[in-house]
């Protein structure tokens, strides 16, 4: 089964994805890694605000709210 690379704009409520890589912008890269958004991490989108920003992700046993601009620097692969 071929994996489909998606962007932050493709994420919908209930969708599951895996992080393949994190962008190169040093400050944001470090912040995302500290929040647990590291390559190989799988997550589920649990909520998206009415205007699309922020969104709530469920990963590693907790829920994390992130802005779409933060998620845009992640390379994501759709699961399911």
75 and 5 Cβ atoms separated by less than 8 Å: yes
6 and 77 Cβ atoms separated by less than 8 Å: yes
- Total structural domains in the chain? 1
The reported pLDDT for the residue numbered 78 is: 93
Q: What CATH number is associated with residue 26?
A: 2.30.30.90
Domain that holds residue 20: 5-79
pTM, 2 dp: 0.84
The reported pLDDT for the residue numbered 30 is: 87
3-state class (DSSP) for residue 40? coil
Q: What is the pLDDT along the chain (80 residues), one digit of tens a residue?
A: 567 899 888 899 999 999 998 887 788 888 888 888 999 999 999 999 998 889 999 998 999 999 988 888 889 999 97
């Amino acid at each position: 089964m071929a994996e489909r690379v998606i962007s932050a704009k493709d994420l919908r409520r209930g969708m599951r994805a895996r992080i393949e890589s994190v962008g190169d912008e040093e400050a944001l890269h470090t912040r995302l890694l500290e929040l647990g958004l590291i390559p190989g991490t799988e997550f589920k989108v649990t909520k998206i605000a009415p205007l699309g920003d922020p969104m709530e992700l469920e990963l590693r046993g907790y829920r994390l709210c992130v802005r779409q601009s933060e998620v845009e620097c992640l390379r994501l692969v759709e699961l399911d």
